[in-house]
Amino acid sequence: MTALYSIILGIVEGLTEFIPVSSTFHLIAASKLLALTQNDFLKLFEVVIQSGAIISIIWLYKEKLVSNRQLQKNLFYSFIPTAIVGGVLYKLIKGYFFENTILQLSVFALVGLLFIILEWLVTNKHLNLSKKLSDISIRHALIIGLFQAMSTVPGFSRSGSILLGMLALGYKRASAAKYAFMLSLPTILAATSLDLYQNRSLLSTISSSEVLYLFLGTMSAFLSALWVMRWLINYLSSHNLKIFGYYRLITAVILYYLL
């Protein structure tokens, strides 16, 4: 690990955490492409820099998160399925899913294909995207949570899973993206806290240079996440998700041969 690599990985985390392309998948792929050894510090680094994404969500949506009681309830209900699945399958996720490159590539490509199919349904008027955030019911909140629970498998992505679920339920793309951002707050916070607790022994052994790498990675993740959230809302106000579908398919093929 070097300062430059920590900044690169932080930017990768920030740019991919909120667009539907799977930040975990990209971090794993970027680490392999940079020939970084998958040691304990790198795993800790990938966990810690997610705090940059957490700070960016609070920065943008603090007023809405604090003042809107109905939104708070919906986020709570949506978080429940992910918490259950993540808690029950934690060891399997960290042990098998994170080590199986073929599985990650397959899932990554599959979600891309589902994006293209959903947008085809919208284009051909088999699916109407008219619902807003205020239309989310408890039932829909739980269904969205079930979709997010699929993101425990690297390659799905939290935002990608939520967008799939909310589009299938008829929500507007920009509204679905905003909900995905805000739902990421309790989800990332819980996942990061659990990972830090599991790796608490490492926190007391890191060197001063490694502390610097963690800081640089977190700050670059924060800044890039802040930019990409604003960009994605504007983009989805007038564009569809096909570009992310094609990106996933093409990237999966390229990485299959590179990795």
Categorize the per-residue pLDDT at 92 as very low, low, confident or very high, splitting at 50, 70 and 90: low
Average pLDDT over residues 176-191: 90
Q: Would you say residue 184 has pLDDT above 80?
A: yes
Q: In the predicted model, what is the mean pLDDT of residues 175-190?
A: 91
Six-digit token string for 87 = 């808690």
Output the pTM of the full model: 0.87
Please tell me the distance from the alpha carbon of residue 89 to that of residue 95, in angstroms, as a whole number.
10
What is the per-residue pLDDT for 93?
Answer: 63
CA neighbor of 112 nearest in space, from 152, 160, 162: 160
> Which tens digit of pLDDT belongs to each residue from 194-233?
778 777 777 777 888 888 999 999 999 999 999 999 999 9
Letter string b/e over residues 140-174, b meaning 16 or more CB atoms within 10 A of that residue's CB: bbebbbbbbbbbbbbbbbbbbbbbbbbbebebbbb
Q: For residue 95, is pLDDT > 70?
A: no
In 3D space, the residue among 180, 158, 42, 67 whose CA is nearest the CA of residue 111 turns out to be: 158
Mean pLDDT score, 23-46 = 82
Cβ-based neighbours of 234, under 8 Å, separated by 6 or more: none
| pLDDT band per the 50, 70, 90 thresholds, residue 85 | confident
With a cut of 70, say whether residue 94 has pLDDT above it.
Answer: no
Q: What is the pLDDT of residue 248?
A: 92
Spatial distance between the Cα atoms of 253 and 117, rounded to a whole number of angstroms? 19
Q: What is the CA radius of gyration of the chain?
A: 18
Average pLDDT of every residue of the chain: 88
| Neighbouring-strand partners of residue 171 | 131
CA dist., res. 156 & res. 98, Å (int): 12
